[in-house]
Chain A
Amino acid sequence: MKTNIPDLSQMASEKVVSQNIKLNGQRILFDTKVLLMPTSIEKQVSDE
């Protein structure tokens, strides 16, 4: 099974759906690419 997911972020969601690309057995509906921005984080995360 193909596990390499192409970059679909430039495609309209209708076109993405029509590509019928599967991820973990489910059909991909959208791929949205979001730029990361610097932020302030005050709380430390703790180990579970």
Chain B
Amino acid sequence: MALAIIKYKGPQKDALLFHADIGTSQYFKYVLGERIIKLKVGKRKYIKVLGGEKKSSRLFQLKKGKARLLFGMFPLAIPKKELTENYKYIQLYSFSSGQKTAPTISKILRLPVYGRKNNLSEFITGLSTTIPKHTEIMEHIDIKNKKHCPEEPAMSKVMFWNAIIGVLPGLLKQAAPILGGLLGSLGGKSNNNSDATKSDEITAKVVAVLEALANAKNGAAQTSGQQSIRPYSSAYSLEPDTLIRLKPILQKILSPEAIEAVGDDAQKLFLAIKDAVQNTEHQSISNQGVSKGKALEPEMIIEGSSNYSKAKVAPALLAALPLIEKALDPKTIEAIGNQPVKLFKAIGDAVLKMDEQEIKHLEAINPGVDSANDIAKLMAGMSISSAYNEELIKFKLLTDLNLDFVNTKTVSFKNKDRVLYCKESQIIIPFKITTNQGNTLNKTLPKSVIQIVIRHTKTMKIVFRKTIKLVDVSINAIVSEAFLTPQETKSIPLHTELKMEVAYIWKSKSNANIGIFKNHYIHFMDTYLYDRIGEKKEKPIPLNDSKLHRKLWHKVWEGGYTKGNRWHLDMDVKYFYTLNVKSKSLSRLETKVQVTQDNAHEQEELPTRRKIRAKVKSGFEWSLEAINSLMQMQGLQTLSPKMLNVLKHSNIIEDFKLVARQHVTLKGRNGDTGTLWVYPEMAMHTVHVSKKGSVDVYGQVAHLEPVEITLLKPESIHLIGTKSE
């Protein structure tokens, strides 16, 4: 039987591949055309052919033997050079002879793309939205159902910052006398070297950021009569003097590069300040063993401490931290009363995510006392405890000396200049020791120790620690004995921001541990480093075929209501997208529905129209393999196994934490059911990856080579509501 059937199979390098079937016919041709026209062939009979601008191929003959072998079926590749923007459709003609007898025409097929020029990579972007194809490509991607929906933190960064702004005045008024005593000599004296100048500039920038934020907050408080976070009374608004106190603290504990890395990240800054207070009190204060200055006694500092009213801070903090009110039961809040120590513990609980055990530990070491001394103790106790901490060498901090890293190099990635080490290299961290006036000391230490502690900046968990014992070190020269071998850095996580604390410790005349320290914020890389997801490259692709893209569609809700002639469901929908780099599967996340209002339960008689209001939360978890498979399905360039591996070991998941919020309404009669579906639109984005360039003798990456790849990323979602008929 003569046939003419054509189906699209997919793209090839220089052509689009179709499956053709001409049955018993031996001759065929195809026609590319601009539009479909109807030809009348009988009284009420029409056939559809191509019209407008069109182009017909030459007549092809399928060889007899081959035609029989293939039963008239064969692959048909249309060269891409023939597919200009004017041709939107294709039709296959078959004939029984070379004289075009017994013609048979196929159904008209829309070409995968139109309106674009002969660039395969460009026009294939639109494929999925036009015709189904390559459904088998995603077959190997499993789709799972997962319990629990993602949760956003109860306190946003802005709220966190406000909380810190709120707590800083009280905290610093408590701790500032200690810090001031410790660091007072630093503030007014300038350092001659360029590092100190750079440090000054950077810290000035940080302080400016703090001030700007504080002003913004105060401005908002003035312009808005009502806000979710109650403005503090003028007594507790942030004073520039208070902020300026941060400058010497930052300079003392962080390298200029580390301050740059902290930037305006309130949480990191808070942790840095916490560390300062922690080190101050915990490691005490000393200048013994080096200079003749008088050591400050903690008791003296405490006596001269705060004059602020605790009673005003407590309600202010509670107002600033609704989370605390939610997290703590009323009895606990009552017990907290106006004790800043306990409140700070609550902040620690909420903000630093301490676990129950640590809180108990804190309660044990802080039995309800309330003084500056206890604040510092409390803060010292707030460090994340681990077995490692037990092994760290404790020392008294020398306030008259500074440890400064030398020959530090930075490279720019993730929008900042950062210190980046190469894991495969020997790493050397040279430093120098100077006085607060910038002078070196002519002193040789018979025995000393370098302690290197590397922590995860977010969790403060120790990921590496090392001590290096030294003899006869002259501290008037650069100390180059702090090093890490490639073997040692093997266990350190890649592509993660880490805080490296280098401490130099020796014995005082009274045999006590004394020393100095400084922090760097660093990263480690091997060959490639994920930087960021950049600009959108193409128009978004709607994955709008409920069959072809079924794995990416999500039936979020299905149901109906009785107890009323009609029902009316108002839903506040929150839909999340996340990425799981450890999985190859896709996962639909559980839908959680919280009914907030239902008039069927508010009155004795059943309502004519039942009205329900609900919060609906659901989501979907992507995998890089699934995205890669989707890109293959779309005919887009896929990620190479190497790049897939780079992204899997990066923090790209942070760029895939997405949410859509929308209010939708479904209505129906008693007995009707409705559904709520979600499908995504994806957009191609440039992904910026860096390749390791040159590495200096200290193991620092001195140069990065930019590499660009492309990746599909969800852009928007469609919420589709349906109703039974």
Cα distance A6–B717 when bound, in Å? 14
Cα distance A30–B677 when bound, in Å? 10
Are the C-beta atoms of A28 and B722 separated by less than 8 Å? yes
CB-based nearest B residue for A7 = B542
Are the C-beta atoms of A26 and B724 separated by less than 8 Å? yes
Instruction: Select one of B129, B660, B664, B674 contacting A37, CB under 8 A.
Output: B660
Instruction: Select one of A4, A23, A34, A38 contacting B719, CB under 8 A.
Output: A34
A5-B546 contact, Cβ under 8 Å, with A36-B716, A41-B151: yes
CB-based nearest A residue for B665 = A30
B31 within 8 A of A: no
Are the C-beta atoms of A28 and B720 separated by less than 8 Å? yes
Are the C-beta atoms of B721 and A45 separated by less than 8 Å? no
CB-based nearest B residue for A26 = B722
B140-180 vs A, Cβ < 8 Å mask (1 yes, 0 no): 00001111111111001100000000000000000000000
Residues from 379 to 438 in B contacting A, C-beta threshold 8 Å: none
Are the C-beta atoms of A40 and B152 separated by less than 8 Å? yes
Are the C-beta atoms of B721 and A36 separated by less than 8 Å? no
Instruction: Select one of A26, A38, A42 contacting B658, CB under 8 A.
Output: A38
Cα distance A3–B548 when bound, in Å? 8
Are the C-beta atoms of B725 and A29 separated by less than 8 Å? no
Chain B neighbourhood of A43, CB < 8 A: 148, 150-151
Are the C-beta atoms of A34 and B723 separated by less than 8 Å? no
Are the C-beta atoms of B153 and A32 separated by less than 8 Å? no
How many residues on the A side are at the interface (Cβ–Cβ under 8 A)?
31
Are the C-beta atoms of A30 and B725 separated by less than 8 Å? no
Closest chain A CB from B111 CB (angstroms):
15
Chain A neighbourhood of B577, CB < 8 A: 36
Residues from 1 to 48 in A contacting B, C-beta threshold 8 Å: 3-7, 9, 23-43, 45-48
Closest chain A CB from B478 CB (angstroms):
42
Closest chain A CB from B112 CB (angstroms):
13
Are the C-beta atoms of B153 and A27 separated by less than 8 Å? no
Chain A neighbourhood of B544, CB < 8 A: 4-7
Instruction: Bin chain B's interface residue count.
Output: 35 or more
Are the C-beta atoms of A27 and B658 separated by less than 8 Å? no
B463 within 8 A of A: no
Cα distance A33–B578 when bound, in Å? 19
Chain B neighbourhood of A27, CB < 8 A: 722-725
A26-B675 contact, Cβ under 8 Å, with A5-B546, A37-B658: yes
Instruction: Select one of B157, B546, B619, B664 contacting A24, CB under 8 A.
Output: B546
Chain B neighbourhood of A35, CB < 8 A: 660, 715-716
Are the C-beta atoms of B720 and A31 separated by less than 8 Å? yes
A41-B719 contact, Cβ under 8 Å, with A3-B132, A6-B544, A48-B147: no
B681 within 8 A of A: yes
Are the C-beta atoms of A34 and B662 separated by less than 8 Å? yes
Cα distance A32–B575 when bound, in Å? 13
Chain B neighbourhood of A42, CB < 8 A: 150-153
B714 within 8 A of A: yes
Chain B neighbourhood of A25, CB < 8 A: 724
Cα distance A9–B716 when bound, in Å? 12
Cα distance A30–B722 when bound, in Å? 7
Cα distance A28–B717 when bound, in Å? 16
Cα distance A28–B382 when bound, in Å? 55
CB-based nearest A residue for B661 = A34
B621 within 8 A of A: yes
Are the C-beta atoms of A3 and B546 separated by less than 8 Å? yes
Are the C-beta atoms of A9 and B723 separated by less than 8 Å? no
B657 within 8 A of A: yes
Cα distance A45–B724 when bound, in Å? 32
Are the C-beta atoms of A5 and B720 separated by less than 8 Å? yes
Instruction: Select one of A4, A30, A38, A39 contacting B721, CB under 8 A.
Output: A30
A33-B146 contact, Cβ under 8 Å, with A27-B725, A42-B151: no
11 contacts between A and B (CB under 8 A): A7-B718, A23-B546, A24-B546, A29-B674, A31-B720, A32-B719, A35-B715, A38-B655, A39-B657, A45-B147, A45-B587
**Which residues from chain A sit less than 8 Å from chain B, CB to CB?**
3-7, 9, 23-43, 45-48
**Which residues from chain B sit less than 8 Å from chain A, CB to CB?**
129, 132, 144-153, 156-157, 542, 544-548, 575-578, 580, 587, 589-590, 619, 621, 655, 657-662, 664, 666-667, 673-675, 677, 679, 681, 714-725
Taking A36-B659, A43-B148 as known contacts, 4 extra A-B pairs with beta carbons closer than 8 A to each other, sorted by chain A number, are A26-B675, A28-B722, A33-B719, A45-B149
